Amino acid sequence: MTDAASRISDTNKSNDVVLYMKGTKSMPQCGFSSRVAGVLNYMGVDFADVNVLADEELRQGIKEFSDWPTIPQLYVKGEFVGGCDIITEMTLSGELDTLFDENGVTYDKDAAEKIREANG
């Protein structure tokens, strides 16, 4: 396992929800990262943010780790969930709520419903 892969694995094991993104949850540095972080923040999800722009090895490593070419990448309980389009789709369909419920992740159900209403 590469150094980047072991760091990713350790981060995923020690946090229920991890978002590998460009920038941070308080200052995203790309629109796609901003959208996913915005959804998680709005839903009140406690998540770890990993800024891949601050670490080139991690930026490449996460793509190899998940076999997914783009960032952001969301992990829940160590499992890769998807990128921006998948998370947006799952939020609007209610699948993200189900995933959080099944994994014991706390979130604001009313906020999730408001997102769906606003985009319905």
SS3 17: strand
30 in a labelled binding site: yes
In the sheet that holds 79-82, the strands lie side by side as 48-51, 17-21, 73-76, 79-82
Structure tokens at 101: 């419920």
Residues 48, 54: Cα–Cα separation, whole Å = 15
Binding-site sequence positions: 30
Binding-site sequence positions for [2Fe-2S] cluster: 30
